[in-house]
Amino acid sequence: MTTHSTRRTVAKLLAPLVVFGLVAAACGSDDDSGDDGAESSSATTEASGSDTTEASGSDTTDASGSDTSDAAVPDGPTIRLRGQDFSEAITIAEVYGQYLQAQGYDVEILTPAGFRTEAIDGLSNGDLDLIVDYIGGSQAALAPDAPPSADPDEIVAVIGPAYEEIGATLLDYSPAVDGDAFVVRGDSEATTISDVAGLDYVLGASSQCPERPQCLIGLEDPDIYGIEFADFVTLEFGPLLGEALANDEVDAVIWNTTAPQITEQGFKVLEDDQGLFPAQNIAPIITTEVLEAYGDQLAADLDELSAMITTEDLLAWNTETDIEFRESDEVATEWLQSKGLL
Amino acid sequence: MAGALPGQTAVPRDIGFFEWFFDADTWTGSGGIIESLIDTVLLCAAATAVAALIAVPVAAVLAHYRKAQVASTWLVSLSRAVPTFAIAALLVPWSLRRGWGFEPWPIFIALFLLAVVPIFLNTYVAIREVPEESVDAARALGYGESAVLGRVEFAMGASLILAGVRVAAIQVVATEPIRAFLGGDGLGRYVRDGFGQNNTTLVVGGIVLIGGLAATTGLLFVLLERLVLPTGVRRLVRHQGERQP
């Protein structure tokens, strides 16, 4: 009986291992195709699409009905829009989505999921029709070998054609910027990133930072900043960055310029004197197929909205969502109303 | 660039799983599998051991005197409903503000709470379910309370108690990787970096390593049971099994 139950126990213990093996085999086979992203994103679309449209549609359908009753309702395919899964991107997606709904477009705002890679994958494989991204980030993803630039037009010259290759069109970028920020405690003696070189700082940043030329690689590159950090701590969540910095666990973090905690917690942003961090204006990218189906009016409407959003707006939205814990769709609705767009 | 700083993993995105896994650099050095494995094993062993040292005596004494039957079961099942990740995440700012850093306290406390539950429950049940005739026989032979608990109830329940520790250890090993998302490292770093860098190979590698360690932990406990259980108890377990198939 002992041997019998032992054997059963061993079998039970080995069962998870077999499952892991199967998972490993399954993931290994479509490693490079990018199909796995497509499957998962379409699954989220189906699962969550209906309730998001209900939730966001309730505010906007009446508004759009009254606003556009005299104008011709744009006719074309449903525009599927999905924000990346962090609060600023979620609010941005709500702003663009609700704005287009108010203009009478058929827009489906999907539940936010994934980050840039998933957004661009969704665009190229037809799961999404419209994304809003930071142009410098787009360049790092689409043309990682192109030199980063602090000039948005230089970046547009690189990523415009790159987006065309996946069947999408980059529209005008907004003056609103959410770039990388090298953030230190308020009492740091440094004022520029170059000053950090001799300070033996511990750096905290996301797990993407060590492999990005515009992040750790560039900061350590002797030809750019040549900083030798004492240590690197991987921190995935914004609030943790602030806690770690405030409590001396790290001495510097890579954050974004629109993080409301920077002023809230008395940190300061160091000047990027070597121009390492690329321009990060937000810009909508739409599949060329959908853009052509609607004609010039859609591009003109989107450009008009992009031109109205400022960096201060991004910061204000983030303060409301992250510090005051308000819902992104409400924040977006209020901003659009205050601009007379709803 | 690779290995310039401790705590970073710069692995090419297009590397195959086996190419990565069987590369010597993957295993050695700062942030290598060996270092991560040691990190993980030490933390898991500490959390499980402390949980066992506290939960086993407390549960055994409570069960021996038939005290707090409802309360202990209720409390323990209640604590099961609290997610480990949330506990650890809530404790991180607390630990940072005291200058104790990201590790080890937040993740240790969270894993300790996770491990206490199955150990406590199994020990309680093991002691309570010891056949009354055995306890009566021991008393008739002149055993005092502590001898009844230690030499009869504890010995006869040892198998079930060890099973509780085994379940706890496996759960702890499978849960420990969350520390990588809270400023720590350990085996979870591969899953974290793999997700962050969109590198499937790293994610799969992390899953294989964590799953492998959990499976190995379970096997080691089976061996441990064979080694430490007294022969008489092993025979007893066998008999009980035959009586109740």
What is the SS3 assignment for B177-189? HHHHHHCCCCCHH
Sheet of strand A231-234, all strands in order from the earlier edge strand to the far edge: A231-234, A202-205, A252-256, A180-185, A267-270
What are the tokens at B12? 């090419």
A207·B192 Cβ contact <8 A? yes
Supply the pLDDT for residue B106: 93
Question: How much is the ipTM here?
Answer: 0.73
A187 Cβ contact partners less than 8 Å away, ≥ 6 residues apart: none
Bridge partners of A109? A81
What are the tokens at B71? 């309360």
Supply the pLDDT for residue A127: 92
Neighboring chain B residues of A142 at a CB cutoff of 8 Å? none
| A67-75 long-range contacts, CB within 8 A, separation 24+ | A67/A102, A67/A103, A67/A104, A67/A342, A68/A102, A68/A103, A68/A104, A71/A104, A73/A104, A74/A103, A74/A104, A74/A105, A74/A294, A74/A297, A74/A298, A75/A294
Q: Distance (Å, rounded) from C-alpha B200 to C-alpha A162?
A: 24
Chain B nearest-CA distance from A240, in A, is 8
Neighboring chain A residues of B107 at a CB cutoff of 8 Å? none
Q: Point out the residue among A211, A217, A240 whose CB comes nearest to the CB of B92.
A: A240
Chain B nearest-CA distance from A231, in A, is 6
Residue count of chain B, please give it.
245
Half-sphere exposure for A202 (CA within 13 Å, toward CB): 16
Q: Distance (Å, rounded) from C-alpha B184 to C-alpha A59?
A: 43
Domains (range + CATH), chain B? 28-243 (1.10.3720.10)
Over residues B72-85, the mean pLDDT reads: 76
Chain B nearest-CA distance from A31, in A, is 7
What are the tokens at A210? 């060590």
| Nearest C-alpha in A relative to B211 | A17
Chain A nearest-CA distance from B194, in A, is 8
> Please, what is the Cα angle at B9 between B195 and B20, to 5 degrees?
85
Domains (range + CATH), chain A? 35-177+280-338 (3.40.190.10), 180-270 (3.40.190.120)
Supply the pLDDT for residue B73: 73
Which of A20, A36, A185, A215 best probes binding to B when mutated, by most B CB atoms within 10 angstroms? Answer: A20
Chain A nearest-CA distance from B189, in A, is 9
What are the tokens at A227? 């900083």
Q: Distance (Å, rounded) from C-alpha A132 to C-alpha B62?
A: 60
Chain B nearest-CA distance from A30, in A, is 10
Q: pLDDT at residue B239 above 90?
A: no
- The dihedral over CA atoms of A221, A142, A298, A56, expressed in degrees to the nearest 10, equals -80
Which of A41, A120, A241, A249 best probes binding to B when mutated, by most B CB atoms within 10 angstroms? Answer: A249
A31·B201 Cβ contact <8 A? yes
Higher-pLDDT residue of A211, B123: B123
Q: In which band, very low, low, confident or very high, does the pLDDT at B236 lie, cut at 50, 70 and 90?
A: low
What are the tokens at B220? 């080691």
Supply the pLDDT for residue B29: 79
Interface of B with A in 141-160 (CB under 8 A): none
Q: Are B111 and B42 in contact (CB under 8 A)?
A: no
Q: In which band, very low, low, confident or very high, does the pLDDT at B70 lie, cut at 50, 70 and 90?
A: confident
B8·A232 Cβ contact <8 A? yes
pLDDT along chain A (342 residues), means of 10: 46 48 43 39 40 41 42 81 92 96 93 90 93 92 85 94 95 93 92 92 90 87 92 84 90 90 89 89 95 92 95 92 91 95 88
A247·B189 Cβ contact <8 A? no
Supply the pLDDT for residue B241: 55
Q: Distance (Å, rounded) from C-alpha A13 to C-alpha B215?
A: 6
Q: Are A170 and A255 in contact (CB under 8 A)?
A: no
A210·B8 Cβ contact <8 A? yes
Amino acid identity, residue A157? A
Q: Distance (Å, rounded) from C-alpha A278 to C-alpha A150?
A: 5
What are the pLDDT digits (tens) for B206-223?
999 999 999 999 999 999
Q: Are A226 and A197 in contact (CB under 8 A)?
A: yes
Chain B nearest-CA distance from A61, in A, is 37
Q: Point out the residue among A2, A217, A247 whose CB comes nearest to the CB of B96.
A: A247
> Given phi > 0 = left and psi -120 to 50 = alpha, else beta, which region is A263?
alpha
Amino acid identity, residue A266? G
- Tell me how many residue pairs between chain A and chain B have CB atoms under 8 A apart: 119
Q: Are B233 and B52 in contact (CB under 8 A)?
A: no
Produce one character per residue of B193-202: b if its CB has 16 or more CB atoms within 10 Å, e if not.
bbbbbbbbbb
Half-sphere exposure for B1 (CA within 13 Å, toward CB): 17
Q: In which band, very low, low, confident or very high, does the pLDDT at B196 lie, cut at 50, 70 and 90?
A: confident
Does B208 lie at the interface with A, CB-CB under 8 angstroms? yes
| Nearest C-alpha in A relative to B95 | A247
Does B21 lie at the interface with A, CB-CB under 8 angstroms? no
A28·B16 Cβ contact <8 A? yes
Q: Point out the residue among A2, A211, A220 whose CB comes nearest to the CB of B238.
A: A2
Strand A180-185 versus strand A231-234 pairing type:
unpaired
Supply the pLDDT for residue A334: 96
Q: Is B142 helix (H, G, I), strand (E, B) or coil?
A: coil
What are the tokens at A278? 């690329």
Supply the pLDDT for residue B173: 96
Supply the pLDDT for residue B240: 61
Over residues B85-108, the mean pLDDT reads: 89
Neighboring chain B residues of A236 at a CB cutoff of 8 Å? 181, 192, 196
| Nearest C-alpha in A relative to B192 | A207
Supply the pLDDT for residue A20: 46
**Could you tell me the pTM of the whole model?**
0.69
Continuous segment of H or E residues that includes residue A231? strand A231-234
A23·B189 Cβ contact <8 A? no
Neighboring chain A residues of B237 at a CB cutoff of 8 Å? 1-2
Q: Point out the residue among B1, B189, B242 whose CB comes nearest to the CB of A1.
A: B242
Neighboring chain B residues of A246 at a CB cutoff of 8 Å? 96
Interface of B with A in 34-63 (CB under 8 A): none
Neighboring chain A residues of B16 at a CB cutoff of 8 Å? 28, 31
**Largest CA-CA distance found in chain B, in angstroms, rounded:** 74
